[in-house]
Amino acid sequence: AMAAQAAQAAELHLRELRASEQRFQAAFTHASIGMALLDFDGRILQANPALGQLLGLSADALRQQPLQRFADPADRSELEARLGLVDQNEFEAFSCELRCRHHDGSEVWAALHCNFFTEPGAAEPCLILQAQDITARRRAEAGLQHMAFHDALTGLPNRRRFMEVLSGALQRQRHARPPHQFAVMYIDFDRFKLVNDSLGHNIGDELLV
């Protein structure tokens, strides 16, 4: 009787494991954000279609590729440093925003979150990655940043940007050894008001640009 109960309990446990794995696979596959399972070197063990869409490759094509390969060279060292802590037993879940390279060469901004994960039935743990496309938000922020520091008509740095650069130059001049030298040039258009008054502001704008 005890053997039968043990066998029944084992069978129930296996069914629960299979059901849990099926639920995970369904959630993983149909997630609207990119997801991947990684080994401790950052190699992609499994990816979902959303991650493939983010990077411009199929989920199957991403398998066995190092995640670091898809990071922009300017941000790759940060990702490698984060993943490198796994081997040093200092790894902690991390979140970061970095630039990736789409398969067509275009820049994609992604918000990443990575943590330890034990897949149901797996012999050893791995890493689970979530990646959300934030390219539109980053471009909007960059546009607002540019508008804040540049003239809308000419695209040249505005007074606010000039004062920021001048302040930085003065700081360097005070502390640099040997002293930092710089020059400021003032350029004015004589009788520019005459152009606006006689020909109109549209012509004045064309003259400026």
**Domains contained in the chain, CATH given:** 31-140 (3.30.450.20), 153-208 (no CATH)
pLDDT at 124 over 90: no
134-147 residue pLDDT tens: 999 999 999 999 99
Whether the Cβ atoms of residue 50 and residue 74 lie closer than 8 Å to each other: no
- Residue owning tokens 């043990």: 6
158-206 residue pLDDT tens: 999 999 988 988 888 888 777 778 888 888 888 888 888 888 888 877 8
> Whose CA is closest to 53, among 26, 27, 32?
32
Q: What pLDDT score does 176 carry?
A: 79
pLDDT at 116 over 80: yes
Q: What pLDDT score does 4 carry?
A: 67
Q: Report, as an integer, the average pLDDT of 84-104.
A: 86
- Residue owning tokens 């930092």: 180
CA distances from 117 to 48, 79, 114, 124 (A): 16, 18, 9, 9
Cβ neighbours for 169, distance < 8 A, ≥ 6 positions apart: 180, 182
Tokens matching residue 126: 């791995």
Count the neighbouring beta carbons within 10 Å of the beta carbon of residue 137: 13
Exposure string of 32-46, with b = 16+ CB inside 10 Å and e = fewer, is eebbbbbbbebbbeb
Q: Report, as an integer, the average pLDDT of 70-78.
A: 93
Distance CA 66, CA 76 (A): 11
9-50 residue pLDDT tens: 666 656 666 666 667 678 788 899 999 999 988 999 999 999
Q: Which pTM was predicted? A: 0.69
| Cis ω for the linkage preceding 178 (within 30 of 0) | yes
φ/ψ (deg, to 5) at 58: -70, 160
